Copies of this chain bind each other. A is one copy, B any other.
Amino acid sequence: MPKTVVKEEVGDKAADASFISDYLPYLLAHASHLISGQFHDQLRARGISVSTWRLLATLSSGDGMTIGALARIGLYNQPTTTKIIDRLEETGLVERRQDEKDRRKALVFITAQGRAMVDDLLGEAKAHEAKVTASYTPEEMATLKRVLRTLISRLEDDA
């Protein structure tokens, strides 16, 4: 009769000899949840919503995007993006302009007020990123980011 060692302490942080601890989608979701969650706490302390941050950060890259492009890059659905932009426009952080060439398109631009807010937040975001990656060498971090970028582009090719 073999003596068996039962793995206890389920129900708390340990207990991870499990499916999810080796499941790539979970690892990505978990890392994403933790790293963004920390920054979202900083946002909340300032009374800025996550969706405001995410769409302003997206827009900071290229002003004058369509709703659809904002949705794709910002990882939101198109109808959700419309509503977020509605709110941002009401608060004066962005404005819509009709595309003259293709009148189906609404191009979104950051206002001066929105630019000031996002510049400030980009600084905070970079500082936060530097803090949480401080224990890695620049080479390690560059490698990780490169691997993630190739994973992303392969996943996009599938779809």
Contact = CB atoms under 8 A, between A and B. Distances in A.
Contacts of A158: 38, 132
A70 B154 CA distance: 32
A147 interface: yes
B11 A65 contact: yes
A138 to B, nearest CB: 12
A1 interface: no
A28 B152 contact: no
Nearest to A36: B25
A145 B75 contact: no
Contacts of A23: 57, 125-126, 129
A97 interface: no
Contacts of A16: 61
A87 interface: no
A61 B28 contact: no
A15 interface: yes
A13 B73 CA distance: 8
